[in-house]
Amino acid sequence: MIRAVFFDMNETLLNLSLLRAQFDKHFDDKNVLKYWFTKLLHSSCIMGIMGTYQSFGELAGAALESVFFENNQRLSTETKDEILGAFQGLPAYEDVLPALTMLKKKNIRVIAVSNSSLAMMTEQLTNASIIHLFDSYYSVDQVAQYKPFLNIYQSAARQERLAMEEVVMVAAHDWDLFGAQKAGLKTAYISRKGEIYNPYYLPANFKDSNLPDLIQQIIDAEELG
C-alpha cells in the first residue's frame, strides 16, 4: 500500500528559472548554475562522510564564493544575497498543482523532504502557492545530514508513522532517489533536465517527464495492490 509521497523541492517541484536569471547576470557560461550546484552537493556529501554539518545557506554561500573566485569576479554581499535570495521565490512547474491535487483526491499524503532549511521550505512552498497541498515537510536540519544519506528519509517516515515500503520518493535527481531506495522507499524519477539517469544507481520504480503522468503511475500501482 502506498500511503504517502515524499517530494524533493528544488528542480523537482520548483523551477530554477529565477535563480538561473541571477547567474546569467554575472556569467556568460550557461553551465555555471549547474557547476555551482554540483560544488554545493559535493561539499554537503563530504561533510556527511566526515560526520560534520553546516546549514544549506552556509554551504550554498561558500560554493557561490568559490565560483566567483574561480571566474576572477568579486562577489559583493549585495550580489550574494540577491542570488541566494532567488531561492525563496522559485515558481512551481505548471504540472505540479494538478499532480499534487491528484494525490490529495486519493487521500495519499503529500510531504516535502528537502536539503533546504525548514524556514526556507515554508517560504518556498508559500511563494509557489502550493503549501496548502502539503500535509507536512521535513528539512535535513532535523537530522544534521544531507540527502542522499539515509537519515532524513527514515526520520521523515518514522515521524509520519509510515513503513518505508508505504512511501514513494519523487525527485528530479537520480542521486536523491538512490539514497531513498537504499533507505527502503520506492522511487519515482521526474525527468526535468534532459540528463541520463546514472546506470550505476538503483533504477527508479517509476519514470516520466510529466508529473501528473508520473503520479498516475503511482496511483495505478497503489490501486493494483
CATH number at residue 82: 1.10.150.240
- DSSP secondary structure string for all residues of 89-149: GPPBPTTHHHHHHHHHHTT-EEEEEESS-HHHHHHHHHHTT-GGG-SEEEEGGGTT--TTS
Residue 52, SS3 per DSSP: coil
* Boundary-marking domain end, from 88, 105, 122: 88
Q: Does the pLDDT of residue 176 top 90, yes or no?
A: yes
Give the model confidence (pLDDT) of 45-101 as tens digits. Answer: 999 999 999 999 999 999 999 999 999 999 999 999 999 999 899 999 999 999 999
- My answer on whether 72 and 120 are in the same domain is no
Residue 15 is predicted with a pLDDT of: 96
Q: Provide the CATH number for the domain around residue 148.
A: 3.40.50.1000
- My answer on whether 56 and 131 are in the same domain is no
Q: Does the pLDDT of residue 221 top 90, yes or no?
A: no
- My answer on whether 41 and 104 are in the same domain is no
**pTM for the structure as a whole:** 0.95
Residue 209: other Cβ atoms inside 10 A: 12
Give the model confidence (pLDDT) of 5-46 as tens digits. Answer: 999 999 999 999 999 999 999 999 989 999 999 999 999 999
**For residue 191, with 0-12 CB atoms within 10 Å meaning exposed, 13-18 middle and 19 or more buried, which class applies?**
middle
Residue 225 is predicted with a pLDDT of: 61
- My answer on whether 220 and 126 are in the same domain is yes
Considering only CA atoms, give the Rg of the chain.
17
- My answer on whether 65 and 102 are in the same domain is no
Q: Does the pLDDT of residue 193 top 90, yes or no?
A: no
- My answer on whether 22 and 11 are in the same domain is no
Contact 170, 8 (CB under 8 A): yes
Range of the domain at 52: 17-88
Amino acid found at 27: F
Phi, psi dihedrals of residue 73, rounded to the nearest 5°: -120, 145
Total domains, the chain: 2
Averaged pLDDT for residues 172-186: 97
In the chain, pLDDT over 70 holds for what percent of residues?
100
* Boundary-marking domain end, from 27, 57, 88: 88
Q: Does the pLDDT of residue 181 top 90, yes or no?
A: yes
Residue 194 is predicted with a pLDDT of: 84
- My answer on whether 63 and 134 are in the same domain is no
* Boundary-marking domain end, from 44, 60, 88: 88
